[in-house]
A and B are shown apart, each in its own frame.
Chain A
Amino acid sequence: MDLKVITDADTYTHIALSGKLDIVGVGEIEDQFIAHTAGRKKNALVDISGLTHTGSMGLRLFLRASRSLSEEKKSLILLNPQPMVNDVLEESGIRRVIDVEHDAETALSKARA
């Protein structure tokens, strides 16, 4: 698993995840991910186009960050999931509480808001 910070702006954070977000992958990036999202208490845009898989622990990671940010009236936005990852997000019902975008401009404007 790889976590890359693209922008640490004053108003939002833009990061990208790539690899397999299974129980091992989550263990590799969990602290970093939480620090860059929930820890910054700013809107967080997470490009997940490089994710080839997300398991239940990956969903838990997104949910934790999203819940923490929502307490600060901030949002977690997931950008460009691959079809199989999108199916998992859909099936889990997580899309009801986490915004999933397929257009980078739209996602960025939401993050900057």
Chain B
Amino acid sequence: MDSTPEPKRVRSEASARGHLDKVFETAALAPAKRRHSAFGRQLFEYVLEKPSTTQAALEGRILIVDHDRLSREILARNLQREGYAVEFEEDGARALLRLGEGTFDLALWEVQLPGLSGLDMLHRARKDAVLLHIPVVLLSEVKDVETVIRCIEAGADDYLPKPFNPALLKARIRASLERKRLRDQEQRLLAEIKAHQERIRIELADATAYLMSLLPPPLSEPFIADWRFIPSSELGGDCFGYHWIDEDHFAIYLLDVCGHGVGAALLSVTVLNVLRSHALTGADFRNPAEVLVAANRAFPMEQQNNRYFTLWYGVYERSTRKLTYSSGGHPPALLFEPGVVAAKKLATRGMMVGGMPTSRYTSQTCDVPVGSRLFVFCDGVYELTLPEGRTYTLDEFAALLGQLPADAPPDLDAVVARIHQLRGSKELEDDLSLIAIQF
């Protein structure tokens, strides 16, 4: 360890000596003079007035790691003249510790440093997240070219042959620091992007949690009703629900707003709340076609940021065991009657809701025998791109549902697991929404 205090700024020798004599004559600095007198006159060869720390910091902070005192001093003079803040270490291990503080912009490292060579240092530094990004310029005798090559291969930024050429020193330091500045800037931008992405992720998760809170609880009486909802990584536009309109009429509905993200989810939740609270003017919520007509009137796409939605809306009449339904641009619901393998596709082929003000919607009715199963879902459950490249089909999905054991409530977890298996991943391209009702 060099016992010499760190120099701050270099002047020409004559200027420095004259200046220092004056400086140390002042009463304020007399104690400092006494304290440092033990280090000898050589100290004052290059010590200076109080440095402009701010200016030096602007240019960059450099750690010189070299056991050769003369070499250090020459380097220091040159660098300080350029406005850099310079500090010294002659012990490699201590130098690594100081660099690890993250306050240096560049290290000048003697290749043949005893104890911890330039190559050793580079191997250690490249395993450290902080040191990794501090440029290292090697100092070497010209005869050490082979070592220098190995060091460059190990990650050194550049090298300076001894004895130093001031112009070369200046150019290489400036180039290395410029690279570091760009790297630091890149890191800052990356950190900002990551922070921004994290904020968006949290907000999307919050929106998903709100949407989930609006979904109905499973039912076990007078029939079984259950559902699964798995939002795509980016919040999609699916929503659904079921509820008793009165003692005899049970509404079941699922909607899918075009597109993804918060914009789609906002419209989706708005429509869901309207359906839950029967807040469509002129619609009898026991009449599915009326509900779609009123929804089409209430949510024209030109007033919804050019978004439309698809909707399947059905009403089960308990006293008659009849299901009346209407759909707008939505995949058919599937009704499996007991003992029948093939599903009935329940859709009325209306246009997507909000697409055209003149769209017409009709209702259809079917019987629901005891033990029948109804599945209402979005296209995300079957519009899957399979690993082999082709798209899964609605008929294949219907066959999958038809294979579920009939002697137990529909195993929706098994359906979701199969969809993930088919997709080859748990990442879905679209929301997965699936309602199952066993009458």
Q: What is the interface of chain A, defined by CB distance below 8 A to chain B?
A: 22-23, 53, 55-57, 59-60, 63-64, 67, 84, 90-94, 96-97
| Cβ contact of A94, chosen from B256, B351, B383, cutoff 8 A | B351
Given contacts A56-B256, A56-B259, A57-B259, A92 and B356 within 8 Å (CB-CB): no
Given contacts A93-B359, A96-B359, A97-B356, A56 and B351 within 8 Å (CB-CB): no
Q: Which of B1-9, B101-109, B245-253, B306-314 lies at the interface with chain A?
A: B306-314
| Interface flag for B123 (CB, 8 Å) | no
Contacts of B256 in A (CB 8 A): 56
7 further A-B contacts with Cβ under 8 Å, apart from A92-B310, A97-B356, are A23-B260, A59-B258, A60-B258, A63-B356, A90-B349, A93-B329, A96-B351
| Interface flag for B355 (CB, 8 Å) | yes
Tally the A-B contacts, defined by beta carbons under 8 Å: 57
> Cα distance A64–B350 when bound, in Å?
18
Chain B 338-378 per-residue mask, 1 if CB under 8 angstroms from chain A, else 0: 00000000010111100110010000000000000000000
Chain B 309-336 per-residue mask, 1 if CB under 8 angstroms from chain A, else 0: 0100000000000000000111100000
| Interface flag for B273 (CB, 8 Å) | no
> Cα distance A15–B34 when bound, in Å?
89
Contacts of A94 in B (CB 8 A): 329, 351-352, 355
| Interface flag for B391 (CB, 8 Å) | yes
Prevailing SS type, chain B contact patch: loop
Given contacts A23-B260, A56-B256, A56-B259, A93 and B308 within 8 Å (CB-CB): no
| Interface flag for B169 (CB, 8 Å) | no
> Cα distance A67–B356 when bound, in Å?
8
B95 to chain A, nearest CB (A): 50
Contact A93–B328 (Cβ < 8 Å): yes
The size of the chain B interface, using a CB distance under 8 A, is: 25
B266 to chain A, nearest CB (A): 16
Contacts of B259 in A (CB 8 A): 23, 56-57, 60
| Interface flag for B204 (CB, 8 Å) | no
Contacts of A92 in B (CB 8 A): 310, 329, 351-352
| Interface flag for B16 (CB, 8 Å) | no
> Cα distance A92–B356 when bound, in Å?
12
> Cα distance A67–B429 when bound, in Å?
28
Given contacts A94-B352, A94-B355, A60 and B306 within 8 Å (CB-CB): yes
Contact A59–B352 (Cβ < 8 Å): yes
Could you write out 14 A-B pairs with CB less than 8 Å apart? Answer: A23-B259, A55-B383, A56-B258, A59-B329, A60-B258, A60-B259, A60-B306, A63-B355, A90-B349, A91-B331, A93-B328, A93-B351, A93-B352, A93-B359
